[in-house]
Structure 1
Amino acid sequence: MPDSLIRESTTTSAVLLATTPASKFVCADGTLLDRVSDQLASLPIREILILNAGGGLGADLRGVAKVARTATGVVAVLPADLVAHTEALALLLDHPARDTGALVSHDVSAAPLRPPVRVEHGRIVAAGSSFHVVPEANASFRGVLQAGEADLAALADIAEELAELADTGKLGPVTPVETVDLLLVGLVRSGVKVRAAAIGPLHADRVTGQLDTDAAVSRLDEVDEAKVRLDTSVKSEDGFFATFLVSTWTRHLIRPAALLKLTPNTVTGISIGLATLSAVWFSAGTLPGRLAGAALLYLSFALDCLDGQLARYTRTFSPLGAWADGMADRLKEYLVYVGLAFGYGEAGIWYLAVAAMILQVVRHSVDFAYAGSVADSARIGALWGRPARSLLEPADAGRAHGVLGLAQRMERGTAARWLKKIIVLPIGERMALIAVTAVGWNARVTFLSLLCWGGVAALYQLAGRIVRSAR
């Protein structure tokens, strides 16, 4: 029977698998089981369920299934033979999205208890075990799995199916050590979207002996967890302008903002105020006014980056906050359009301003409509479909082909990846385009540039949506 520790603050339950001998290895904090339990207690985990009955792989899987059937919130599953930074665990277990995910490392060097996975666009698309093969793996699973509330039924079904296969010997000589690995394989192959929570330079390793334990614990001191938390607050996949000309210095404002107890919404509000002042200066129409407007627009965008960085650092972001931030971006951009049009002073400029505004509205409508349709189709598929892949299939065959496959392969090249990001004219590139053309030329050139580059970006995005939908 599982032991349990209960905290009332959240609705996350953690299933700690202590059914292998490695969980009893000792460290400075007691046994590894004690150490992991203490780490979980420091995170927003309501209930820690310790499975230590030792009834074999099938029993462990059924224990997980029982928890998933009765849980009323997120369920995390992890082994007690894990030596990890607390910050690494927090990347998944303290993430406000509270979705289905797994802890991974992009270090794919061979080592025991590091099953291979393949990650594409931040999601795990193929996962392996001693029975399941993953060609072209680009990451490794580090033993921590979380199922969002919407995927608990799928987790329970998969755990029960795997238990049956294990009991009948159809999975080969697998052992309880692979419980969490097999659950990840099952979730991925059933079509559940599993977010890849990358640990970066942090450590998370499962151990097989006392010497491994001592070495793994000593490696933890080699990494500054506070610095890693700051680094991971800055988007690694942002636009070119935001990455190289903004985030390089706004990252130094994150800790001061947190110490001042500024909320991301407060920073967003200041950003809106700066954009409003920018529009006022642009409306003057003079060169000094355009220079001041461009400078304020740049600072406004910098704060727009900072609010997201602060939200990630403090782990206070939410879907509502992300929506409000997106709406603020549109408001700031259109205020600047109005200011530029006033400053130009000719009636005909308003046609170009309105056309540029309509183009951006259409582009964002396409993005949001496509994202909504993908979410709807995923829900319908989950209701009507059976698991997309057999749990007994040992090889992976889920690669994209044709144009979509070519696009995915292009993203592996640094230059091609950045070129794609620039082509779609994200918000950072638009702000830079507005500032440079407004100062160097005039509002007419600004709106024509937005229409030309924005039109190319719209066609590029539309083609990509059609190809992905066709697939």
Structure 2
Amino acid sequence: MPESPSSDQSSTAALVLATTPGAELTCGDGTLLRRLTDQLATLPVRAVHVVARAPAGGDSWSPSLADDLRSVADTAKTASGPVLIVAGDLVAHTGALAVLLRHPARSTAALVALDPTAPGPLRPAVRVEGGHVVSAGSSFHRVEGGNGTFRGAIQVGVADLGGLAAVATELAEFVETGRLGPVGGSEVGDLLLVGLVRSGTRVRAAAVGELHADRVVNQGSADLALQRLAEVDERAARLAAAVKTDDGVFATYGVSTWSRHLVKLAALIGLTPNAVTGFSVGLAFLAAVWFSAGSRGAQIAGALLLLGSFVLDCVDGQLARYTMSFSPLGAWLDATFDRVKEYVVYVGLAVGYAGASMDSSRGGVWLLAVAAFILQMLRHMIDFSYGGAVADAGSWARPPTSILVPEDIPARSGRDGNAIVRLSGRLERDGLTRRLKKVIVLPIGERMLLIAVTAAFFNAYVTFAALLVWGGAAALYSLTGRIARSLA
């Protein structure tokens, strides 16, 4: 039976299933199994346990698929941290495994490829919606509307270990009694993913992007998979994956088209994402100081500093994804200081405008500043409360489904829901209207650009008036959409 994992909860315990002949295929001076365990040693994995078919092939041996599943259940019952279940015949870039293992949430996730590659015996189909796997396949389970393939590795978070143990135990019983048909011995991960998804577990889709992760069956396929790895510049692929391609319009087209050069420079000189966040905050405070001077030249300087602060705000997240140096503290700092930077700029603008003239009527700018502040606080409250409600509803939004049902549960179609939801779905399918929707909600990039342009060419009164008009329309649009989706 598997050894009890360490009590260290900061990293993952790996269970490598070297139960197929592919694990013993050659790779350089060793085997694919040895290559995989060496890769795991460079990642946040505190212990690696190998399960093999032969008694002397690993740390423990398992004579059948049902025993493999019971080994998983036993590991889940004794683990004190996340558990990784990975096929021993997996040939993958280390960066692809890092996408799964270095995520700060340490939550349940599956390694998937979101590409048109046809599903096969070692890459079953999955359907991904909203960044999560909502349907998974095996030789017994069929997926409707699949848009990706599973690539043989699952990390299960601490909160879901009890569910993993129950799913693995149930699957072992079904396999022994033949209720799943002639499932193969290589399908442990496939079946576990199906069981977790159908039990209602939220499974994040850890997409490999331009990197590769393939399971192999013979030396020819192993050599081909290794060749594919060598053909990819892993650093360049990681950098491309670090830059979001579907962010706000200004962030996507005005910053992310060139910010990768700053990311490479920051990584080269050893800056951490938190350090970049600190520089971004510093530029925002300097922008507020210049805005408080009130002169035209100072307004232009403040606008440029504010745009520089936003660029670094994009770079810190890109750097974190590129270097895989995520942390809960970093995510909290980034979200918190986004608000702090914006509000301190409000203060600087109001001070500069009110102090630029002895005219007492200029003091009214503070009413606009406070109104803009309150409106933005309400918008954030709407967004975060809705996000929390969606997360809380995740366990019942898709009711559990029996593992014994071979058919997939079809995804909701654009015909479902009310008129507003259907209209939103149609707009989302068109690239132009999808980008227009992103602009309407006035995300942080558009807000920073709006503040910078109106402050540089007009004054703080115009800035706050624009924020109130556009921000009010954005709040109404978001609130209407959230109510409609909730009712649907």
Between the aligned partners of 1:29 and 1:416, the Cα distance in structure 2 is: 54
Q: 1:307 Cα deviation (Å)?
A: 1.8
Aligned length: 467
Corresponding residue of 2:19: 19
Aligned sequence identity (%): 58
Query: 1:311-460, aligned counterparts within 5 Å?
Result: 311-345=320-354, 346-378=362-394, 381=395, 388-400=400-412, 401-403=416-418, 404=421, 407-408=424-425, 410-460=427-477
Secondary structure of 2:206's match? strand
Equivalent of residue 159 in structure 1, options 158, 168, 172? 168
Corresponding residue of 2:55: none
Q: Structure 1 stretch 428-437 or stretch 453-462: which is displaced more?
A: 453-462
8 Å CA contact 2:19–2:185 kept in 1: the answer is: yes
Between the aligned partners of 1:121 and 1:168, the Cα distance in structure 2 is: 36
Between the aligned partners of 1:58 and 1:410, the Cα distance in structure 2 is: 47
Between the aligned partners of 1:90 and 1:412, the Cα distance in structure 2 is: 31
Secondary structure of 1:223's match? coil
8 Å CA contact 2:5–2:80 kept in 1: the answer is: no
8 Å CA contact 2:144–2:410 kept in 1: the answer is: no
8 Å CA contact 2:4–2:75 kept in 1: the answer is: no
Equivalent of residue 103 in structure 1, options 98, 111, 119? 111
Equivalent of residue 66 in structure 1, options 58, 71, 74? 74
Does residue 316 of structure 2 align to residue 307 of structure 1?
Answer: yes
Provide structure 1 residue ranges, at least 5 long, that are not aligned to the other structure: none
Q: 1:353 Cα deviation (Å)?
A: 1.4
Q: 1:376 Cα deviation (Å)?
A: 4.1
State the 4+ residue runs in structure 1 displaced beyond 6 angstroms: 3-9
Q: 1:321 Cα deviation (Å)?
A: 2.2
8 Å CA contact 2:102–2:325 kept in 1: the answer is: no
Does residue 477 of structure 2 align to residue 469 of structure 1?
Answer: no
Corresponding residue of 1:182: 191
Q: Structure 1 stretch 231-240 or stretch 89-98: which is displaced more?
A: 231-240
Give the structure-2-normalised TM-score. Answer: 0.90
Q: 1:359 Cα deviation (Å)?
A: 0.5
CA RMSD of aligned residues (A): 2.3
Between the aligned partners of 2:99 and 2:85, the Cα distance in structure 1 is: 15
Equivalent of residue 210 in structure 1, options 204, 214, 219? 219
Q: Spell out, residue by residue over 1:87-140, the C-alpha distance to the aligned partner (whole angstroms, 9 max, x if none).
A: 111111232321110111112322531111111121111111122222111111
Tell me: CA distance 1:391–1:405, structure 2 relative to 1, closer, same or farther (3 Å). farther
Between the aligned partners of 1:178 and 1:416, the Cα distance in structure 2 is: 42
Tell me: CA distance 1:264–1:348, structure 2 relative to 1, closer, same or farther (3 Å). same
Tell me: CA distance 1:205–1:241, structure 2 relative to 1, closer, same or farther (3 Å). same
Q: 1:195 Cα deviation (Å)?
A: 0.8
Provide structure 2 residue ranges, at least 5 long, that are not aligned to the other structure: 53-60, 355-361
Between the aligned partners of 1:30 and 1:2, the Cα distance in structure 2 is: 24
Q: Which amino acid aligns with 2:140?
A: F
Secondary structure of 1:182's match? helix
Q: Spell out, residue by residue over 1:433-456, the C-alpha distance to the aligned partner (whole angstroms, 9 max, x if none).
A: 111122233222221211121112
Q: 1:369 Cα deviation (Å)?
A: 2.0
Q: Which amino acid aligns with 1:11?
A: S
Tell me: CA distance 1:402–1:469, structure 2 relative to 1, closer, same or farther (3 Å). closer
Q: 1:326 Cα deviation (Å)?
A: 1.6
Tell me: CA distance 1:8–1:337, structure 2 relative to 1, closer, same or farther (3 Å). closer
Between the aligned partners of 1:90 and 1:24, the Cα distance in structure 2 is: 23
Corresponding residue of 2:38: 38
Q: Which amino acid aligns with 2:460?
A: A
Tell me: CA distance 1:406–1:14, structure 2 relative to 1, closer, same or farther (3 Å). farther
Between the aligned partners of 1:158 and 1:12, the Cα distance in structure 2 is: 20
Between the aligned partners of 1:186 and 1:416, the Cα distance in structure 2 is: 37
Secondary structure of 1:176's match? coil
